């Protein structure tokens, strides 16, 4: 069923039917109702491509996922972020399109989306420090919102980010106040902007507390369970091990806990652990008291905000850049306690 047939059945022109369905005022309320009912009855829904062609809008926002190596890690927050974003997008009638490309072809992918005009805007995930994609998107004029920020990029752009610096500063302070002097940081990949900010927060708190920064207590890698486990195991085996650890994610914190227990120690008593909790739906941090003391910020909420900002930017392109800094709450759980002397 298409517009032409529908209008023939109704004995109206395509124009009128189209207008009736799209809520234009220049159509009699009675005929509008008649048209709407017929549309429902014949199960008519306008061809999205034809509509897009005519309007120049695709009602789709894009998401390109670069794939470096074949079996690169998939970010565990992906699902929840997408759920949040999709909820907001669906609310405005937008869909979400994924394109997977080789990492070195990412620029081309955006350029194509633009000349294609297959999407009305894109979401930029996982910005690195000085992320070149931002300038690139601005150059080609593609609307976008960044999930995170990119230190070093000076031109304004829209973003939604967690206050990673403050979160990790507070977390570190929390540990120093408990008397911890040797605090390890199992950070994410430090080419990622969020990881750099977390490190800054960590270092700032250490310096405030008059503690020196020990490079041997700092690691940086993809945040897997295995990474958490391995890093913690190595640190515990080294001379003068840490008494507390900041982990980059729940997943890696789980690995940290495993290492602690394998060493015959107990988390929260012998070693304190603080992690960042993205509030993933399948990985709740305990029902009552949190398992892990954690800086928590919902990635789902971030997804919703990103989507809202993006749609706003598409609909009024001149409204300027929107930014939002989410504060993470510091939730105290069972994984932290006062530093014990000489374990």
Partner DNA sequence: ACAGTTTTCCAAAGCGCTTTGAAAATTCGC
Partner DNA sequence: GCGAATTTTCAAAGCGCTTTGGAAAACTGT
The burial of 239, by beta-carbon neighbours within 10 Å (0-12 exposed, 13-18 middle, 19 or more buried), is given as exposed
d(CA 341, CA 182): 11
Q: Please report how close the Cβ of residue 109 comes to a second copy at its closest, in angstroms.
A: 10
In the complex, which residues of this chain contact a second copy (CB under 8 A)?
Answer: 1, 43-50, 52-53, 58, 60, 65, 67, 70-76, 78-80, 82-83, 86-87, 89-90, 95-101, 111-112, 115-118, 222-226, 230, 251, 254, 258, 261, 280-284, 286-287, 291, 300
Q: Which stretch binds DNA (CB under 7 A): 2-10, 184-192, 208-216, 314-322?
A: 2-10
What is residue 305's three-state secondary structure? Answer: helix
Helix axes 14-21, 29-41, angle to 10 degrees: 90
57 in helix, strand or coil? coil
Round to whole Å and give the CA distance between 273 and 78: 24
Q: Within 45-84, which residues bind DNA (CB under 7 A)?
A: 46-47, 50-51, 53-56
Q: Does 315 bind DNA (CB under 7 A)?
A: no
Which residue from 8, 23, 26, 110 is in contact with DNA, where contact means CB under 7 A?
26
Least separation, in Å, of the C-beta of 94 and DNA? 16
* Residue (81 or 168) nearer to a second copy, CB: 81
Residues 6+ apart with CB under 8 A from 319: 312, 313
The verdict on 124 binding DNA (CB under 7 A) reads: no
CB of 26 to DNA, least distance (A): 4
User: Residue written as tokens 């080609």?
Assistant: 140
* Contact pick of 22, 130, 281, 319 for DNA (by CB under 7 A): 22
- 38 token code pair: 């017929």
Q: How far apart are CA 94 and CA 40, in angstroms?
A: 21
Positions touching DNA (CB under 7 A) are 2-4, 11-16, 18-19, 21-22, 26-29, 31, 44, 46-47, 50-51, 53-56
């Amino acid at each position: 069923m298409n517009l032409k047939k529908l209008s023939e059945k109704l004995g109206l022109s395509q124009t009128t039917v189209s207008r009736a369905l799209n809520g234009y005022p220049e159509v009699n309320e009675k005929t509008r109702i008649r048209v709407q009912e017929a549309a429902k009855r014949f199960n008519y829904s306008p061809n999205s491509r034809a509509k897009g062609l005519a309007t120049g809008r695709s009602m789709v926002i894009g998401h390109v996922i670069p794939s470096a190596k074949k079996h690169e890690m998939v970010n565990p927050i992906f699902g929840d972020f997408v759920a949040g974003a999709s909820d907001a997008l669906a609310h405005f009638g937008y869909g979400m399109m994924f394109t997977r490309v080789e990492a070195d072809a990412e620029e081309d992918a955006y350029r194509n989306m633009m000349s294609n005009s297959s999407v009305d805007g894109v979401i930029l995930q996982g910005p690195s420090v000085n992320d070149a994609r931002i300038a690139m998107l601005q150059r080609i004029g593609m609307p976008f919102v960044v999930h995170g920020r990119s230190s070093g990029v000076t031109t304004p752009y829209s973003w939604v980010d967690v206050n990673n610096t403050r979160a990790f500063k507070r977390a570190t302070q929390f540990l120093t106040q408990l008397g911890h002097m040797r605090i390890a940081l199992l950070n994410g990949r430090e080419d990622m902007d969020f990881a750099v900010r977390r490190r800054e927060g960590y270092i700032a708190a250490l310096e405030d507390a008059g503690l020196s920064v020990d490079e041997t207590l700092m690691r940086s890698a993809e945040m897997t369970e295995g990474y958490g486990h391995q890093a913690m195991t190595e640190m515990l085996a080294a001379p003068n091990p840490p008494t507390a650890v900041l982990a980059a994610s729940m997943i890696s914190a789980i690995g940290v806990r495993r290492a602690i227990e394998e060493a015959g120690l107990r988390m929260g008593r012998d070693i304190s652990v603080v992690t960042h909790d993205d509030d993933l739906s399948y990985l709740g941090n305990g029902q009552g008291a949190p398992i892990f003391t954690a800086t928590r910020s919902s990635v789902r909420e971030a997804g919703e905000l990103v989507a809202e900002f993006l749609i706003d930017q598409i609909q009024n392109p001149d409204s300027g850049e929107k930014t939002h800094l989410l504060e993470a709450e510091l939730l105290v759980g069972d994984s932290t306690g006062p530093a014990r002397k000489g374990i």
